[in-house]
Amino acid sequence: MVTWLQDEFGVGRGHAMAFVHVLKNGPTISEKHVGSSGTHRDESTTLRLDGRGRR
């Protein structure tokens, strides 16, 4: 699936892996990066999947 996303949509491996994670596990993620200051930081353990236009 990751290779297909890369080939068909031109996304990088990291974005493809993130998309597959959401398909397999829904919008819930681990607390590993919640509240951190790194590039992969998140505000909560629930990903917002409604798009930027709804923020």
On whether residue 15 sits in a domain, the answer given is: yes
Dist CA 40 CA 55 (whole Å):
19
- Of the pLDDT bands very low, low, confident and very high (cuts 50, 70, 90), residue 26 is very high
Number of domains into which the chain is organized: 1
Dist CA 28 CA 18 (whole Å):
12
Q: Residue 24 belongs to what domain range?
A: 1-29
Classify the C-alpha dihedral 10-14-54-47 as positive or negative.
positive
How do residues 34-45 score in pLDDT, each as one tens digit? 888 888 787 888
Of all residues in the chain, the percent with pLDDT exceeding 70 is: 100
Matching residue, tokens 């590993």: 32
Matching residue, tokens 């397999």: 24
On whether residue 43 sits in a domain, the answer given is: no
Q: Is the pLDDT of residue 6 over 90?
A: yes
Q: Which pLDDT score is estimated for 2?
A: 96
List the structure tokens of 25: 């596990």
On whether residue 46 sits in a domain, the answer given is: no
